[in-house]
Structure 1
Amino acid sequence: MNRKAIIFHGTGANPDVVWLPWIRARLAERGFAVEAPHYPTLNVEPIATFLPKVLANHSFDEQTVLIGHSGGAALLLAVLQHIDTTVSQAVLVAGYCTKPNTSDEPVLQDDYDWAAIAAHVRDIYFINSRNDPAGCDDRQGRAMFERIGGTQIVRDDGHFGDVDQPYPTFELVDRLIG
């Protein structure tokens, strides 16, 4: 079994912040081939031109697990809508499908084909906090859950890591990945 994980960092971040290096190492120890690309134009470049680059850089199949944090989680919605296969799992941490705050959000599509997204992932998890300072909160998770199904997990853990919130490990994400 060739299990693969692709981990997408958030807006203005990189693959070496917060819990991303930790989950990369954990999954590699478990036998996953792990990709953790650096996309500096994530949520800067419009999704219409950014998404084709992401899709061209990765392959997806039934053994693929997708993990995204914040803007990277929002990106997963577009990825799942536009791939032509069903991946094993997707974990959206501090994800969102509408503008969570007053910032521009070029990673968001104007609308989503929720049925296509749901059809392209076997198990999907939405992990959000009630107290997310960026607005990527439990209401955002609920909006996606109500359209797709899956599992919604609500915590009180802020943004699960950011500039002023150290979050070096994330045991929950490790446990969710089968």
Structure 2
Amino acid sequence: MKKAVLLHGTDGSPKKIWFPWLKHQLEENGYEVFAPELPQNHTPNKIVYDKFLKNSGWDFANNILVGHSSGATTALNLLSSDSFPKVKATVLVGVFLNERLLKSVSPDWYDSRQFECLFKDEYDAGVLKVKGGKIYFVHGSDDPYCSIDDAKDLCNQVEGTFITIPNGGHLSASWNTTEVPQIIDQLKVDSVL
């Protein structure tokens, strides 16, 4: 059975934004989809998420691994873990690599310590290339939270495919993003689906 995992972002849910649409698209293409509600997701924590996902009973080997925002960061953290298997493809949507742009965000949305347990100091591009399968970065051209330049830099390091969504913002509820057809289109072009 073909499998996929969907990892939502901070304060998110697998039932919000474009996740239900993507789940349906993958299922239509014969995939079994694991889309969990990540625990304590207001303050994403790589140790909490790692334990939760490892204890889920899901076989992650050869999956399509999709993450949005801090969920994309979680995908990178999983791939960096020695115990996590190689996947078929990795799709990082609005990947959150650091807090640099958050300094300009309204203080009522962002807590300065909210993401202190999320990031690795640095990602090993060699490990990501080996374990991530075909790697895709999908990013809004005007994302105010997650740097498109940082995403492009990591994409180049892992020799991935970069897909820019014009005026897509953070590809989230604030931008009314309910579908991202570019993901399915590119996976089909590359014969991943």
- After TM superposition, the score normalised by the length of structure 2 is 0.82
Return the index of the structure with the highest Cα Rg: 2
**Residue of structure 2 equivalent to 1:147:** 157
**Aligned pairs (5 A) from 1:63-142:** 64-82=63-81, 83-99=83-99, 100-102=101-103, 103=110, 104-105=114-115, 106-134=117-145, 136-142=146-152
**Residue of structure 1 equivalent to 2:178:** 168
Do the aligned residues in 1 keep the contact of 2:39 with 2:48 (CA within 8 Å)?
no
Do the aligned residues in 2 keep the contact of 1:129 with 1:137 (CA within 8 Å)?
no
Distance 1:22 1:160 in 2: 13
- Measured against aligned partners, the alpha-carbon deviations of 1:13-53 in whole angstroms (never above 9, x if no partner) come to 10111110011011111110011000132361532343232
| Distance of aligned partners of 1:54 and 1:84 in 2 relative to their CA distance in 1, 3 Å threshold | closer
**Residue of structure 1 equivalent to 2:21:** 22
CA RMSD of aligned residues (A): 1.8
Distance 1:146 1:113 in 2: 13
- After TM superposition, the score normalised by the length of structure 1 is 0.88
Which amino acid letter does the alignment assign opposite residue 126 of structure 2? A
Which amino acid letter does the alignment assign opposite residue 89 of structure 1? A
Measure how far apart 1:128 and its partner are.
1.2
Structure 1 residue ranges without an equivalent (≥5): none
Secondary structure of the residue that 1:87 maps to in structure 2?
A: coil
Q: After TM superposition, which residue ranges in structure 1, 4 or more long, deviate above 6 angstroms?
A: none
Q: How many residues align?
A: 174
Which amino acid letter does the alignment assign opposite residue 27 of structure 1? L
Do the aligned residues in 2 keep the contact of 1:66 with 1:91 (CA within 8 Å)?
yes
Distance 1:73 1:45 in 2: 11
Do the aligned residues in 2 keep the contact of 1:96 with 1:140 (CA within 8 Å)?
no
Structure 2 residue ranges without an equivalent (≥5): 104-109
Which amino acid letter does the alignment assign opposite residue 75 of structure 2? L
Measure how far apart 1:86 and its partner are.
1.7
- Measured against aligned partners, the alpha-carbon deviations of 1:56-103 in whole angstroms (never above 9, x if no partner) come to 3232212x1011111111111001111443211010000032224235
Distance 1:130 1:26 in 2: 24
Sequence identity, in percent? 25
Do the aligned residues in 2 keep the contact of 1:19 with 1:168 (CA within 8 Å)?
yes
